[in-house]
């Protein structure tokens, strides 16, 4: 199964800001797929550009980081 990185994940991997990563994708510096307003980058394409990249290890690291993030609380309507 193919794994795709989001803009946030690509930015984290490259140690740049999300806006810089999004701009690089818009300029075609990384091959990507645009779905609506969202960009996805194939892990295989990243591996071709960055040979040391391990997609599985990176995915696990991102899952751990995502679990550490505080959940956004939804505002409830007053009754």
The torsion region of residue 54 among left (phi > 0), alpha (psi -120 to 50) and beta comes to beta
46 three-class SS: helix
pTM exceeds 0.85: no
> What is the side-by-side strand order in the sheet with 4-5?
4-5, 38-42, 33-35
- Per-residue confidence at 79, pLDDT binned at 50, 70, 90? low
Predicted confidence at residue 33, as pLDDT, reads 92
Over 80: is that where the pLDDT of 11 sits?
Answer: yes
Task: Give me the residue spans of the domains in the chain.
Answer: 4-68
- Per-residue confidence at 1, pLDDT binned at 50, 70, 90? low
Cα→Cα distances 54→16, 19, 32, 39, 78, Å: 18, 24, 18, 20, 48
User: Quick one: CATH architecture of 4-68?
Assistant: Orthogonal Bundle (1.10)
């Amino acid at each position: 199964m193919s794994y795709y990185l989001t803009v946030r994940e690509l930015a984290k991997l490259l140690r740049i800001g999300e806006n810089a990563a999004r701009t690089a994708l818009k300029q075609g510096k990384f091959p990507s797929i645009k779905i609506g307003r969202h960009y996805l980058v194939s892990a295989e394409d990243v591996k071709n550009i960055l040979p040391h990249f391990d997609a599985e290890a990176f995915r696990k690291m991102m899952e751990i980081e995502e679990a550490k993030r505080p959940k956004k609380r939804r505002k409830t309507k007053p009754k």
